[in-house]
Amino acid sequence: MSRTRAMLHAADVPAAPGGNGTCAELELELRRVEVRSPLVGQPGTTVLVACHTSSGRVFDPITLGMEDADRLTSHSARFTLFTPAARLSCLEGVACHVTLIPVAGAAQTLIGWGVGSCWFMHYQFLQLSSTMWACQDARAGEYVLQCDRRGGVHPTIMIIMLSTGAVFVVAIALAVLAYVRAARRTTRLRARLSGLAAEPGEAAPKPVPMYQLELGREGGAVGVPPGHQGPTVVVSSEGSLLMLAKPEAVGPAQPVQESTVARALLYHGTQSLGDLRRSAGLPLPHLKAALLVLMQHNCVASWLHAEPPNLRGESRVEQLYEALPRAMLHGLHAPRYLIHVKDSLGATAEAVALKLLQHGRLRLDQVVAALQSEDAAAASQGQGEEAQTTPQRPALEIQAALLRLVRSRLVERAPVCHLPPPRREVHPNARKKKPATKPGSEEEAEQLRARAQDQAHAAYHAVRFKIPTDLVETAVPARAPDGASLAHEPARGGLGTSGAQADGSVGGKRTAGHSTPQPLPGVEEAANLPAANILWRVSLEEFNLRLRNEAIADHMGSRHGPAAGAVVAGMLAAHAARLREAGAPAADGERTVLLSEAEVARAVAVHEPDMAGAGPAPDVPGTLSSLAAEWASPVVAAGDPPAGARQYSLDIAGALGALRQGHLEVLLHDRFGPEGLRIWRLLRACRQLEQKQVADFCMMDAKDAKVKLHAMLKAGCAEGGLDVPRTADRAPSRTFYLWRADVRAACAAFTIELFLAAGNLHARLAHELSQRAELLRVLDLVNAGLAGPGALAERASDFSRIKRVTTLLEAGLLDVGASLALFLGD
């Protein structure tokens, strides 16, 4: 991964008025350059930085050696500079040129100023409430200029490259700080620049963070943001509580402009471009750029909405945009996802998954090119043993890894942007009985439209994990250079992936009596799309489901023994297989389909290697019947054995509810003590009770019960004050006040706290790493062979402490993420 960031900082000297136009000049100063490239690790590499305005060079070229870096790792360097101020006149633009010059080999230009490079114009810095500008660089892809208020003193503007094709450079950031001459205009300009700035006299706004996804030092991938934002609770249009706990929740690259658009979509719901422009308050080019970024990172979905035709037969068609809060939040599983991929499918698959996580969605050729260029760079530097033994991964190996990911349902096809918006699910209690529609009526047309909408989505789900036919033929089987045994690949995919075939169907015999589903319109052509036209993305939603299923099986295992855990896992896997056969989404249904003993036994046999501690193969029929006979068991038996085979189903919602309840109860016990927990369970069992009844039934003092109830009300766990008057005058003294356990609110509060805790763990990890930056630098030098191991021996105790601290924080983060999987599972 190579990345460059340069920062231009305004001089504190006011600029002279005039210039080429009527507006004021800006003064710019180059303050920081950050370079990320494997070339940095090579001894003797230098960095050449120069910036140009339209009228000529603004700074003399600066040559930087690695010894000038104030932060240096094997692949990144940061330089702090103090250049003389340069002026940017009205109507002028500025662009920078950053080149890495190694001792041997070709120089690498990361940013250029030629034709097709990014130029940022004077007026762009002065636009009202503009915080971001997009720019297309022919060399490396798209850049976005972003305001930042790092340090809270001066607004800073950053340029971030968002995505690349197959080029070597991955990301570039350039920061510019503008400062206006007239002192009275400074505050206003800052407000314009940042879009977040305070009015004079107000407290300075909080710094806006930038986010980078990096590999953790201990092997796991951990996002380490250099800055952090305070938590914000957002209520999305659907009324679901969303915690935009930290910027990483909104994707791996999270500049301010994207965040503005994401917030506008979350607050106002699905919108067209015009509406979004008004609600986000951004100029159209910036809005479009931000939307593209959000869509690229799967944080926003785009739907093609066609209005019913009017009397003249004209139908208005518009593109709608919808924020996907759940997808954003699933991003927290990324580290666990990468570990899971590495463990189950090997290092190449992990590299593919990492590329997809970094870029959101990519075509196969883009993945291959990105990985191969990375390998080439590593090999040219001779970094690490691995690079020397396998200089470059062949394209077929990368392709095979991608296909394995798709078969394991860890990677999926990105949805096309012309899908219609999904229909809103109406709660069964709220559904009204409608009379049969008359042929040719408006209602019938409505129904047909709705059916077409459903079919379009069903067609996508049918091909979501389908491997393109042209890849099926070229795919190389079972080469596992990274040590992953492909023989067990289907079984190792975890719960819900029992032997998926290349076409997305499932191993094992189709149960007799199941009719072949009718092909959906559109599936055929989507399935036959050439691989070159398909964008792939990681399926964190599917992974979330998998984590959830694992938790359910573990819970049942801890309650009823390992055999029960294995059988429940088998039931969930068999259910997932049936859904795949039917082309339904994996999350479908509150209860599994009816499964025969033989079907469950087959699924258990496939998944047995996963069942740690299950011991000998479980007696599936016996375990199933004992589970069905258990009290409050989610396993339900159906059928009459003498007449036919007995079948079983699993109440997924019930099992998940019990699991959530367990997590909630630990928190309630911690917060309100055993009495509080007793009250909570009583209210859950009795639905609603008066305060005195609560005290009587819980065998508690009335005063204690009152204190506990009010504490739970304050924490949002209990709902109180539901009043039922005993007399018509509604006198308070003659009114029953009822209390309820508010499970939904408690779950929502718990989820928010999980996000806050995850964000805080993250922030503390970043803080600990930044506090020990010097130590980490020594470690990097030792790893790169630039310093001897003696350098570490001197600070062995410091090193072991930071290792334990990061291990503890990273483990905490992963565990909190797994807990979140339960609460985001619906």
Partner 1 sequence: MEARAQAINSLLRTHRLQILMAATGGGHVYKMVQKEDAIKLKGLSTEDHLLYQCIARAGNVGIWTKDMKRRTNLSQPRINKIVKFLEEKGMIKFVKSVQNASRKMYMLSELEPAKEITGGPWYGDDGKLDASFIVEMQGAVMSFIRHQRVCTAIEVLEFVEENKICTLSTPLQPDDMALLLNNLVYDGQLESKEDEEGALLYRPALHHGLESTPLTACPCGVCPIIHDCVEEGPISPSTCNYYREWLDF
Whole-number Cα distances in Å, 499 to 353, 404, 483, 513, 787: 20, 11, 20, 21, 48
DSSP 8-state secondary structure symbol assigned to residue 506:
B
SS3 185: helix
Least distance in Å: CB of 760 to partner 1? 4
Report the distance separating Cα 478 and Cα 490, nearest Å: 12
Smallest distance, partner 1 to C-beta of residue 241, A: 14
Under 8 Å between Cβ of 87 and 27: yes
Shortest distance, position 514 Cβ to partner 1, whole Å: 35
- With respect to partner 1, which residue has the nearer C-beta, 546 or 678? 678
Cβ-Cβ contacts under 8 Å for 349 (sequence gap 6 or more): 341, 342, 401, 402, 404, 405, 482, 484
Q: Would you say 156 and 205 are in contact if contact means Cβ atoms under 8 Å apart? A: no
Parallel, antiparallel or unpaired: strands 171-176 and 3-8: parallel
Q: Which is nearer to partner 1, 330 or 407 (CB)?
A: 330
How far is Cα of residue 283 from the mean position of the Cα atoms in its chain? 27
Toward partner 1, which CB reaches closer, 135 or 694? 694
Q: Tell me which residues touch partner 1 (CB under 8 A).
A: 152, 206-207, 227-231, 558-560, 631-632, 662-663, 665-667, 670-671, 674, 677-678, 681-682, 685, 692, 696-701, 750, 753-754, 756-757, 759-761, 763-764, 767-768, 801, 804-805, 808-809, 812, 815-816, 818-819
Give residue 716's identity as a one-letter amino acid code.
Answer: G
Give dist(CA 617, CA 570) in Å, integer: 12
Contact 694, 679 (CB under 8 A): yes
Q: Least distance to partner 1 from the beta carbon of 816, Å?
A: 5
CB of 69 to partner 1, least distance (A): 24
Q: Is residue 176 packed enough to be buried (19+ CB in 10 Å), middle (13-18) or exposed (0-12)?
A: buried
Q: With respect to partner 1, which residue has the nearer C-beta, 205 or 285? A: 205
What is the DSSP code string of 380-418? HHT-HHHHHHSSS--HHHHHHHHHHHHHTTSEEEPPPTT
- Distance, C-alpha 245 to centroid of its chain: 12
CA 601 to CA 618: how far, in whole Å? 9
Question: Distance between CA 416 and CA 423 in Å, rounded?
Answer: 17
Q: Are 3 and 37 in contact (CB under 8 A)?
A: yes
For partner 1, which is the closer residue by CB, 28 or 650?
650
Nearer to partner 1, 323 or 765 (CB): 765
Q: Which is nearer to partner 1, 354 or 814 (CB)?
A: 814
Count how many Cα atoms sit within 13 Å of the Cα of residue 386 in the half-sphere of its side chain: 11
Secondary structure element (H or E) that encloses residue 543, with its range: helix 540-560
Q: Give the shortest CB-471-to-partner 1 separation in angstroms.
A: 39
Nearer to partner 1, 183 or 699 (CB): 699
Give 713-741 as a 3 state SS string: HHCCCEEEEEEEECCCCCCHHHEEEEEEE
Can you tell me the distance from the alpha carbon of 158 to that of 749, in angstroms, rounded to the nearest whole number?
A: 36
Smallest gap, in angstroms, from Cβ of residue 32 to partner 1? Answer: 20
Task: Give the integer Cα–Cα distance in Å for 521 and 244.
Answer: 38
Q: What is the nearest approach in angstroms of partner 1 to the Cβ of residue 673?
A: 12
The residues near 100 (Cβ < 8 Å, ≥ 6 apart) are 35, 37, 39, 40, 45, 46, 47, 107, 108, 109, 110
Output the smallest distance, CB 664 to partner 1, in A.
Answer: 9
368 or 822: CB nearest partner 1: 822
**CA-CA distance, 224 to 810, in Å (whole number)?**
11
How many whole angstroms separate alpha carbon 586 and alpha carbon 577?
9
Angle between helices 597-607 and 620-629 (to 10 degrees): 110
Q: Give whole-number Cα distances, 501 to 64, 111, 184, 490, in Å.
A: 54, 44, 68, 9
Residue 46 CA, chain-centre distance (Å), reads 36
Task: Report the distance separating Cα 722 and Cα 221, nearest Å.
Answer: 48
Give the whole-angstrom CA distance, residue 16 versus residue 24.
7
| Structure tokens, 136 | 């297309």
The least CB distance from residue 749 to partner 1, in Å, is 10
Query: What single-letter DSSP state applies at residue 165?
Result: S
Q: Which is nearer to partner 1, 302 or 633 (CB)?
A: 633
Least distance to partner 1, CB of residue 134, Å? 28
Give the nearest distance from C-beta 422 to partner 1 in angstroms.
32
Alpha-carbon distance 530 to 398, whole Å? 17
CA 177: distance to chain centroid?
Answer: 30
Pick the closest to residue 759 from 817, 823, 826, 819 (CA basis).
817
Shortest spacing between CB 497 and partner 1, in angstroms:
25
Over the Cα atoms of the chain, what is R_g?
30
